[in-house]
Structure 1
Amino acid sequence: MALNANDRSIAGFTMAGHALVHWFETAIPILLVVWLAEFDVSLLLLGLVLAPSYGLFGFGALPAGVLVDRFGAKRLIILCLGGMSAAFFVIAGASYLDSIYAIAVGLLLWGLAASVYHPAGLALISTGVEERGTVFAWHGIAGNAGIALGPFVAATLLIFLEWQYVAAILAAPGALAVLYGLSADFEATAAVDDDADAGPSDALSLSEFLANSKVLFASTFALVFVIVTFEGLYYRGMLTYLPEILHGLPAMDALALPEGLDGIEPADYIYVGLLVVGMAGQYVGGKLTDRIPPARGMAAIFAVLVVLAIAFVPVTGMGLIAIVALCGVFGFFLFAIQPFYQNAVAVYTPADTRGLSYGYTYLGEFGFGAASIALGGFVLDVSLGWFFVMIAAFALVGMVLSVALAAGLDWFADAEPTPETAPDD
């Protein structure tokens, strides 16, 4: 079914926002390498400068979700885009102060602004779009495009320009997206019942926040939240350490590069290719959410992710072709699961707390999910095999919980989906 005009408008707006959030997110590590040499600081200090910004990106999603329910998604997304661009202009200006701490301020501003996007963008899709699965698919593809293009563009520009000019150029698309957002015209609650109170709310008090949170976690959303957290542990652990794991494989020596590209790691091509394949996974997963109940879809994909994590143990000792093939399949399924849990949040939450719901969702995905970075580093020091066993265990727990959700687990006070989004079980 073709998207109507309202769906297309929301799709374009949220796709731009999703691409740019990850465009900025993945460009930062490329700049990190330059800052390490520019400011003559230790990797430990630079890590301490960077960590709080990524922490805000995850943990800021919860208060951002509250603000979405209070002020509406569109204005929050516009502020997010403007804030991220302003942060990168601050980073660019930090070169004139010759201070790593000025860069830290810019990074914190970026993390604070970026934390707004996911609860705002997904709340807008869930309440405004009729063909939600299709838009979730294109939305996910846009995010993957940003993930792949951010580091590629940053690294390419750094060949020709100083880092401060690169930071300023990276900020420009965000400024353009703000202008686009201001001109976008759509109905933000077109996909919910006329009598559903899904618009901006006057409730922003602590008592209202606690009351709404209690309602959410007394419902099936509590189980969805735990499932998303385990998906986040799998996602963040694999994407953080897989590039380093690939770099260390003997099979990478077989991938020769042309002269003049000595500074590029062959494994990086495989990693970027994995992210590109993830676009197809996002699209297929999104389209399937219109046909398969979210719990069943998550259970099936988690099962595949368990097998793929275990498969990395023998495949890392095989040849280049086997490694590339496994990474391609992994990239497809890693991102195919995302539209299913995004849709699960829409199915199992009321429309008037959708921003808060997605705030909690991305607190679990990017906040608690980041714990696998620390766990993964510790386990990798022991054994590569045990690292993949740990990752597989995260997916196994997600699969078991998804099966329970699909079976109609009714441990909660309000386990029924909201009427406008109930799946055809």
Structure 2
Amino acid sequence: MNRNDREIVSLVSLAHGMVHTYELSIPIFVAIWLREYTTIGLGFSSLPVTTASLGVMTGVGFALFGLGALPGGILVDRFGSKRLIVGCLVGMASAFAILAISPNLAVVALALVIWGIAASIYHPAGLRLISTGVEERGSGFAYHGIAGNIGIGFGPFVTALLLLFFDWHVVAGVLAIPAFVAALVATRADFEEQAAVATADGGDDGDDKSSAGVSSLGEFVTQSKGLFLGGFALVFFVVMCSGLFYRGVTTFLPDLIGGVLGIQPVPISEFLPASLVPGDSSNAPTLDVELYVYAGLLTVGVFGQYVGGKLTDHIRTERGLLIGFGSLAVIAVAFIPVAQLGVVPLLVICAFLGFFLFLVQPLYQATVAEYTPAGYRGLSYGYTYLGVFGVGALGGAIAGYVLSVASPNELFYVLAGFGLTGALLSAALLRRKPAPA
């Protein structure tokens, strides 16, 4: 990689890790809020704290994380990636700073709304920056994905460990600090956002491919039609399948893992000297082992991200997606039968699931770049993450419904259906010639 590539990849990797650290730490806080609060004050009324009411409260933030990607993509095409990435980091840090001083759940809800809006900007901004500024695009997507998985795996792990020793307000405040520091670092980053496009176009920065995107509602409608009348329409449905599978499997997998393993919480006094254990022997904190198995599964995704990113430089991304989604369908069908064979088979099938779950991400990110002109990249990645995190959020609701009326086996058959659909759509893309990028 040249200096420009390294500057960009360093910035987007740092920001990507931050986004997913915060995303996956929120569910850990939810368990604490359930214990500490009894009502959600609305000013004129109040609601009792239940899993349903907290689910709606946190769901608003997660929904905005996906829904905000589309307007975020429009803003990226107008104002560039760097400024919006800085804004994203400052917004997320501010949200967790508000969490740290929140006196009640109404303020917590406000903080989550701010987080969702701020975080929604990142993916269209970061991915557009890689696709237009990094010449070694495949490696850029790979390292970017690895950083995200580090946040996904180690962020919740570190949060859970801190909560063993500190109040959740303190932990939220500590988590806010890295994003503020990252925002400061981002302001000092020096790179050319259109370097890869300029190189591909023979140095002609005035080419329409790299021009600013949407400036009016009419242009938004025109550019959206241009995207969806081409191959991007199929790509959009592919990323929806990824989002539905991702949310569907991750939302309830910790509980499913705990049920299969049958492991009881382990007191931390078994691992630490008595002088370091908070509380007394009767109320010492415990480790929920299935959460750490789950974190390990997500961490394996680092390797899937790396391999998927590297594959984009060597094979057609559509073929890689066909392999990835096909593998996810097979793993979903095999998951429960293999997991029931014992702890070691369960860990093995979890490792395969983590690997292929994240292998497809850099592949579809690169595919979006192949099926869209450079000047539309922010808009196209906005639609992409509307599909992944917005429409994909339905995967959790679908999984919850299936588990309420059927068994885990049926849930994994539904997930296999998402994987098979993604594979079939990828095969259809293989029959098309991508539009010039």
Counterpart contact for 1:189–1:198, Cα < 8 Å: no
For structure 2, the 5+ residue unaligned runs are 39-48, 272-284
User: What is the alpha-carbon root mean square deviation over aligned residues?
Assistant: 1.6
Query: Where do 1:68-107 residues align within 5 Å?
Result: 68-94=76-102, 98-107=103-112
- Do structure 1's residue 391 and structure 2's residue 402 form an aligned pair? no
- Residue identity opposite 2:299 in structure 1: V
After the TM superposition, which of the residue ranges 157-166 and 293-302 deviates more from structure 2? Answer: 157-166
- Do structure 1's residue 267 and structure 2's residue 290 form an aligned pair? yes
Please give the per-residue CA displacement for 1:212-244, whole angstroms capped at 9, x wherever unaligned: 101000110011001110111111101111111
Structure 2: distance between partners of 1:253 and 1:84: 35
2:391 corresponds to: 368
2:253 corresponds to: 242
- Do structure 1's residue 323 and structure 2's residue 341 form an aligned pair? no
2:435 corresponds to: 417
Structure 1: distance between partners of 2:247 and 2:160: 22
Distance 1:46 1:260, change over 3 A: farther
Please give the per-residue CA displacement for 1:366-397, whole angstroms capped at 9, x wherever unaligned: 11111111111111121211111000000101
1:37 corresponds to: 35
2:193 corresponds to: 188
Structure 1: distance between partners of 2:207 and 2:319: 27
* Residue in structure 2 matching 1:230, options 241, 245, 251: 241
Query: Where do 1:19-418 residues align within 5 Å?
Result: 19-40=17-38, 41-94=49-102, 98-192=103-197, 193=201, 194=204, 195-197=206-208, 201=212, 203-249=214-260, 251-253=261-263, 259-260=269-270, 263-381=286-404, 382-408=406-432, 416-418=434-436
Distance 1:258 1:110, change over 3 A: closer
2:42 corresponds to: none
After the TM superposition, which of the residue ranges 189-198 and 316-325 deviates more from structure 2? Answer: 189-198
Percent identity of paired positions between Structure 1 and Structure 2: 49
Distance 1:92 1:12, change over 3 A: same
Please give the per-residue CA displacement for 1:56-83, whole angstroms capped at 9, x wherever unaligned: 0011101110111111111011100000
Structure 1: distance between partners of 2:265 and 2:170: 33
Structure 1: distance between partners of 2:32 and 2:222: 47
Q: Which runs of 4+ in 1 moved over 6 A?
A: 254-258
Structure 2: distance between partners of 1:152 and 1:234: 23
Counterpart contact for 1:309–1:389, Cα < 8 Å: yes
Distance 1:198 1:18, change over 3 A: farther
After TM superposition, give the deviation of residue 142 of structure 1 in Å: 0.2
Please give the per-residue CA displacement for 1:130-162, whole angstroms capped at 9, x wherever unaligned: 000001000000000011122112111122222
Distance 1:284 1:151, change over 3 A: same
Structure 2: distance between partners of 1:280 and 1:136: 13
Structure 1: distance between partners of 2:435 and 2:255: 42
Structure 1: distance between partners of 2:191 and 2:348: 42
- Residue identity opposite 2:33 in structure 1: W
Structure 1: distance between partners of 2:96 and 2:269: 33
Q: Secondary structure at the match of 1:160?
A: coil
Structure 2: distance between partners of 1:151 and 1:174: 16
After the TM superposition, which of the residue ranges 193-202 and 75-84 deviates more from structure 2? Answer: 193-202
Structure 1: distance between partners of 2:104 and 2:309: 44
Counterpart contact for 1:72–1:200, Cα < 8 Å: no
Counterpart contact for 1:127–1:351, Cα < 8 Å: yes
* Residue in structure 2 matching 1:17, options 8, 15, 18: 15
- Residue identity opposite 2:71 in structure 1: P
Distance 1:170 1:198, change over 3 A: farther
After TM superposition, give the deviation of residue 252 of structure 1 in Å: 3.8
Please give the per-residue CA displacement for 1:304-336, whole angstroms capped at 9, x wherever unaligned: 111100001311321000000110111111111
Q: Secondary structure at the match of 1:280?
A: helix
Q: Secondary structure at the match of 2:286?
A: coil
TM-score by length of 2: 0.90
Counterpart contact for 1:127–1:198, Cα < 8 Å: no
After TM superposition, give the deviation of residue 256 of structure 1 in Å: 7.3
Structure 1: distance between partners of 2:192 and 2:372: 20
Q: Secondary structure at the match of 2:186?
A: helix
Counterpart contact for 1:141–1:279, Cα < 8 Å: yes
Structure 2: distance between partners of 1:404 and 1:373: 27
Count of residues in Structure 1 that have an aligned counterpart in Structure 2: 407
Distance 1:254 1:243, change over 3 A: closer
Structure 1: distance between partners of 2:178 and 2:264: 38
After TM superposition, give the deviation of residue 267 of structure 1 in Å: 1.6
Q: Secondary structure at the match of 1:337?
A: helix
After the TM superposition, which of the residue ranges 136-145 and 237-246 deviates more from structure 2? Answer: 237-246
Counterpart contact for 2:74–2:213, Cα < 8 Å: no
Counterpart contact for 2:312–2:363, Cα < 8 Å: yes
2:281 corresponds to: none
Structure 2: distance between partners of 1:190 and 1:169: 36
Structure 2: distance between partners of 1:181 and 1:86: 16
